[in-house]
Structure 1
């Protein structure tokens, strides 16, 4: 059963070593993520599953101890997702950021596992995956990694799309109020057009939370670099 969840953005720039001189620009987001992980720890889960978007070849499960790297971003920094022997496949970027966050906050709670999901995954399949995760242990927590639209300004990765702000506002409202129905109603096609990498992971969360009475809390919402970032907790 899902007992708590934290929602965090997953840009590699969240890691100070990657952001370098721009590290201070995401300091508030980083602090909010640390606070969100504190909520997960307080819930005392038996199992923590990290869910994030992944490209083909980096999808599916990752055991505890799986390694990731930020070498692709020009930084000689490696991370591990919790403890354990890991596996042969490297973590996708979203789970590497999660591994850094967990290490940064000295996570010492439940065993950690990862799951990379396709950004194109349909809501029904995402919800099914969430229900499977929630039923895997008596007390399950989720760390859900994912960004909103990448089309909030002309300098954004996806340029400016006037639909982006409304999409992000709806997502932030749903995440901040633990509204599972509203999350599942987010349009996969529109999310893809807006390059919203968090849509599928958020819908996994919605499926996992079905039948619970968790309350949501929005800790951070902004769009630096023209990308929607949200930090929220469900507990």
Structure 2
């Protein structure tokens, strides 16, 4: 059963070594992420699942100990998803950021498994994935990585789209209220057009949280670089 969840953004810029001189711009987001991970530890889970967007339309599991690298972003930094033998598959960028967050907070509260969810994975499949995770142990926690729209400003990765701000506002309200129906109602096509990579992971969260009776808190919301970032905690 899902007992707690944390939602965090997943830009590699969250890692100070990657952001370099721009690192202070995301200090508030990093602090909120640390608070959210602390909520997960306090929930005393039997297992933590880290869920993040990945390429494709399928899902891929990553065992504890799987490694991810930020070499592709010009930084010689490798992270591990908890302690364990290194797996054969490298973590996608979203899960590498999650592994960095967990290392930063010295996560040792429960075993960790990663789940990369294809950005093309449909709503029904995402919800089913979430229900599967929630039933995997008596006390399950989720760390859900994902960004909102990437079209909030003219300089945003996806340029300016007037639909982006309302889309992100809907996401923020849903995360603040732990509104699973609203998350499952996010339009897949619109999310794709707005380059909102968090859509699939958020819908996994919604499936996992169905019937769990969790309350939500929005800890941080911003759109630096024209991309929507949210940090939330569900308990």
1:126 corresponds to: 126
- Name the SS for the 2:183 alignment partner: helix
- Normalized against structure 1, the TM-score is what? 0.99
The answer to whether structure 1 residue 12 and structure 2 residue 17 are counterparts is: no
How many Å apart are 1:57 and its aligned residue? 9.8
- Normalized against structure 2, the TM-score is what? 0.99
2:167 corresponds to: 167
1:135 corresponds to: 135
- Name the SS for the 1:91 alignment partner: coil
How many Å apart are 1:56 and its aligned residue? 3.6
How many Å apart are 1:85 and its aligned residue? 1.3
How many Å apart are 1:87 and its aligned residue? 1.1
Pair 42,103 (structure 1): closer, same or farther in 2 beyond 3 Å: same
Contact 2:172/2:230 (8 A) holds in 1:
yes
- Name the SS for the 2:133 alignment partner: helix
Query: In the TM superposition, what whole-angstrom CA distance separates every residue of 1:128-149 from its partner, at most 9, and x where no partner exists?
Result: 0000000000000000000000
Distance between the aligned counterparts of 2:58 and 2:125, measured in 1?
A: 18
2:180 corresponds to: 180
Q: Which runs of 5+ in 1 are unaligned?
A: none
The answer to whether structure 1 residue 38 and structure 2 residue 38 are counterparts is: yes
Q: Which runs of 5+ in 2 are unaligned?
A: none
- Name the SS for the 1:65 alignment partner: coil
1:157 corresponds to: 157
1:27 corresponds to: 27
Corresponding residue pairs, total: 235
